[in-house]
Amino acid sequence: MNVSVSRSDQAPPAAPPAGTAGLRGRIGALGPVGLVLAGGISVQFGGAIAVSVMPRVGAVGIVALRLLFAALVLVVVCRPKVRGYTRADWGTVVAFGVAMAGMNGLFYQSVARIPMGPAVTLEVLGPLALSVFASRRAMNLVWAGLALCGVFLLGGGGGFDGLDPAGVAYALGAGAMWATYILFSARTGRRFPQADGLALAMVVAAVLFLPLGVAVSGPKLIEPGALALGAAVAVMSSVLPYTLELLALRRLPAHTFAILMSLEPAIASIAGFLILSQSLSLAEALAITLVIAASMGAVRTQVGRRGARRGHAGEDPVADVVAGPVAVVDADLAPEPSGK
């Protein structure tokens, strides 16, 4: 999603000295992976900071601040056009914004009740289920079973007595909204140029949540400390990751991006431990590992299916959107460096 300035119209830089060409090539090969990991770290540590702010403004309040500041930044940077679109275009971007608001709102309600690692693990099940259903391959039943084993362990070996049931329900709801977000992200990207659709959808999400934030948190939302932390969460959890992922997706295959994004439950666990002092039991750590493995396996299976069917008519349109258990539609929709 493009929130950066294209440099394709600038003159190319001078050729580097011969002695540094190999080093720069190796750094360039590792760069996209580092960008994706940096984006994931930014998202999850931003989420951990958001949890630390919740005692001040509540879960609804921090979501309202995050969406508001993210919308302001994206509108200023992207300067999206608002004319020339059809009613169907606006219906798509509104649905995208609703999905975005629901995903954020439910997730923050979840992390207000259960640790970040389990919350993100349960949330990932939504996109994973979308990938499994879209693929219709028997192998994906294995990955689904592996994920269910992880969920079983996460619930303490039966039920969710160790986790707040409401927190679990919110996390699963956030996962369902994440899957919806993936589908409408693809549709929005086809109807709106560059990151215009993202910016407009973020405005929709902010407009939906701001009244709720005002009603729940009231004057606490405009306290200087809360505003500063809300802006930091918006940059870390929305603006910066979108920028880093766009830069990475220009040089990184979509399936590699998806596999790296599948590591987010582990990153969330680390962020929860370092910032919020949230520790995991051995069973919870194993559960998260199983879900990550299932996500990676589903990505590889889906990529193999798409590669085998590339160029053939009658492909499943949903499978074309979902290349794995994360929003890899960004890879298909991200503009080329030339700004196409």
pLDDT score of 253: 72
Q: In 121-144, which positions are buried (b, 16+ CB within 10 angstroms) versus exposed (e)?
A: bbbbbbbbbbbbebbebebbeebb
The pLDDT, as a whole number, for residue 194 is 79
Q: Give whole-number Cα distances, 237 to 70, 148, 150, 281, in Å.
A: 9, 28, 26, 27
Nearest Cα residue to 236 out of 99, 4, 69 = 69
**Could you count the other beta carbons within 10 Å of the beta carbon of residue 271?**
25
The segments of the chain whose pLDDT lies below 70 read 1-30, 134-138, 140, 155-161, 254-255, 301-340
What DSSP character marks residue 280? -
Residue given tokens 């994920």 in the structure block:
147
Give which of 199, 205, 180, 224 is closest to 64, Cα–Cα. Answer: 205
* pLDDT at residue number 107: 94
Question: Which residues lie closer than 8 Å to 154 by C-beta, 6 or more apart?
Answer: 118, 121, 122, 160, 163, 283, 284, 287, 288
pTM of the model: 0.73
Longest dimension (CA), the chain: 62
Give pLDDT, residue 309. 53
CA distances (Å), origin 188, targets 74, 167, 319:
16, 30, 17
